[in-house]
Structure 1
Amino acid sequence: MENTLHEKNRYPDMSFPYAMYTITPLGVTPTGRGFNELHWHEELQFTLVTEGKIVMQVNGMDYELESGQAIFMNKGVLHITSKVKPNSQYVSFNFPEKAIGFYSDSNMEKNYVFPFTHSLFLSLVIREEVEWQRQILEILWELKKKFEMKSYWGWEYEVSIKTAQLWFTMISNITLSSEESPKYLKQQQERIQLMLSYIHQNYANILSLQEIAEVAHLSISECGRSFKKTLHTTPYDYLIKYRIKKSTELLRDTEHTISEIARMVGFNHVNHFIQSFKKHHQQTPKEYRRLPTTP
């Protein structure tokens, strides 16, 4: 089954697969990245809060980060920016593990990359109170400046050198035995990923809780507990919320009628769609459609 939550980053230059995303409450630059959706990706990610406060949810755990703080997320980790407070901004640096492995089958890859990226080490909050973490924050600010400059001769080398320093500083100061999460947390994440992927692929159809649970080989009761523990919601509420999200895209980008859109996103009755939409957006689909598009 294709993993629809497995985000594929779109790099400005595929010959240098590295990107910095700048995110505010209004959106993300460059566009096309669903930062406010649950997702995961093969790339490693360092996120630096540059203004205000955000809340980052990683595998069901909420982390409130203030300006000047950062968080690292390992590859394949389920995460979402659940809240970006007004006048806040953050930047996320995404790059593949090969960027710090130098070349395939290298000693760097075998000894300093794979032991961490293929482990149960999920994330790390980075604060300036700890000396080595302050060094990481300084490197992140320097990387931000470099990405904001126009590309120049040697730019890729400078970014790569800084990133290698960033990675080496982190792995030199953590111990996997104390930083890694229990295996059951990793297993729980994988099960949630399977169920979310199934919902994302089949949201327009009639879905039963039994079907969702079977994807992860769980009982109905265990499926509900997994959602509640990791996502703080029920499978049904998540499904409705996702259908509503897909409907906003159709309301904004198409000329389909409200009734047509209701059917397209999986609602059997248009009144149920309108009531659910109003509950999530405090306005009807018709009112939402009339709003001016945010630039």
Structure 2
Amino acid sequence: MIDIKIMQDASEIIRYDSDKLPYAIQERLLSQFTERRALCHWHPDIECIRIYEGSMCYEINGEQILLQTGDIVIVNSGQLHYGYAHDDEDCKFCVELIHPDIFKTNLHIYQENVYPIIHASGITYWLYHKEDSNYQQVASLLDQIFDIRNNPKDSMLCLLNGLFHCLWHCIYQSSTRQLQTATLQKNPDISLQKQMVTYIHEHYAEDIGLDDIASAGNISRSKCCKIFQAYLQQSPVSFLNDYRMEISCNLLSNTSYSITEIALACGFNHLSYFSKSFLKKYGCTPNQYRKREAGTLKK
């Protein structure tokens, strides 16, 4: 759950911590996200979330789980997922992204122990609670990865690479029973959802609507709406508008573009409609939001 500045196109843009090893690690607060809610996204990376304080609702392919202090969830490659506040509570957590290419140094190991898992339709995530027998091992590895990232050494990448492989060994052990019944066939509706979400990510600045989103999945309007409701609990147009609003917040906070320029860049053809929609969603005007964020950054 890397923020919008790191993953603006969800499936494509991740700024890794190293150009030599594809991983990214951050400590985050849910309150750093607009409305304490991340945007739905997907990527080929394995995503590890560990809750330090508070709780968070987390959705993976439309399935909701509640993460509480100490819980760990590891999301498999290519799954639609996002987190949001539980009872408006803030949440402190660590997120670690690991690209499967890290495990390709030995192709035999990758083909035998990695590829079948990241392409198995029935294996979407792994959830670890404190009382689970393998919890301490997984938690210790995630902590070591985080500590090494924050206290760099000359051999940091070597250490991280070894720990990533140890973590995958734990994941593999947790997956052996599921692998016996899992198939490599993906759920077609999830694939369609990813196509349509990606279309919105790539075309939000254009004059698009329900027909265009449905066409991106080559399905009917009604089927499009059913899929969005099943996996995102909102309509396609609502998701489009939420995404546009999230992008506008990012631009208001991090650029000097005028309000009109931002409205147009986010797909709003009329400034008045943008301002009215922004006020309804966030309880303030775009200009007030910009001033508030500027004041927060100065502190």
TM-score normalised by the shorter chain: which range applies?
A: 0.7 to 0.9
Partner of 1:200: 201
Letter in 2 for 1:16: L
Q: How many residues align?
A: 283
Q: Which has the higher helix share?
A: 2
- Distance apart, 1:72 and its partner CA: 0.9
Identity of aligned pairs, percent? 23
1:157 & 1:267 partners in 2: Cα distance?
48
> TM-score scaled to structure 2, two decimals?
0.83
Equivalences for 1:37-48 in 2 at 5 Å? 37-48=39-50
Asked if structure 2 preserves the Cα contact closer than 8 Å seen for 1:122 and 1:180, the reply is no
> TM-score scaled to structure 1, two decimals?
0.84
1:144 & 1:97 partners in 2: Cα distance?
18
2:160 & 2:247 partners in 1: Cα distance?
37
Unmatched 5+ residue regions in structure 2? 1-7
- Distance apart, 1:268 and its partner CA: 3.5
- Distance apart, 1:255 and its partner CA: 4.9
Asked if structure 1 preserves the Cα contact closer than 8 Å seen for 2:253 and 2:293, the reply is no
Asked if structure 1 preserves the Cα contact closer than 8 Å seen for 2:31 and 2:90, the reply is no
Asked if structure 2 preserves the Cα contact closer than 8 Å seen for 1:52 and 1:87, the reply is yes
Question: Which of 90, 98, 103 in structure 2 is aligned with 1:100?
Answer: 103
Asked if structure 1 preserves the Cα contact closer than 8 Å seen for 2:56 and 2:68, the reply is yes
| 2:8 is equivalent to residue 6 of structure 1 | no
Asked if structure 2 preserves the Cα contact closer than 8 Å seen for 1:56 and 1:64, the reply is yes
**Structure 1 ranges of 4+ moved more than 4 A:** 84-87, 177-184, 253-257
CA 1:238–1:19 in structure 2 vs 1: closer, same or farther (change >3 Å)? closer
Cα-to-partner distance string for 1:86-118 (whole Å, 9 max, x where unaligned): 553111222222323433x2x211111111112
1:137 & 1:181 partners in 2: Cα distance?
29
1:51 & 1:248 partners in 2: Cα distance?
26
Structure 2 counterpart SS, 1:13? coil
Structure 1 counterpart SS, 2:211? helix
Unmatched 5+ residue regions in structure 1? 29-34
Provide the alpha-carbon RMSD of the alignment.
Answer: 2.7
Partner of 2:172: 171
- Distance apart, 1:253 and its partner CA: 4.3
CA 1:154–1:271 in structure 2 vs 1: closer, same or farther (change >3 Å)? closer
Question: Which of 120, 123, 126 in structure 2 is aligned with 1:124?
Answer: 126
Structure 2 counterpart SS, 1:65? strand
Asked if structure 2 preserves the Cα contact closer than 8 Å seen for 1:139 and 1:162, the reply is yes
Asked if structure 2 preserves the Cα contact closer than 8 Å seen for 1:116 and 1:176, the reply is no
Asked if structure 2 preserves the Cα contact closer than 8 Å seen for 1:122 and 1:181, the reply is no
| 2:22 is equivalent to residue 17 of structure 1 | yes
Cα-to-partner distance string for 1:119-159 (whole Å, 9 max, x where unaligned): 1121111112220233212322232222222x224333332
Partner of 1:139: 141
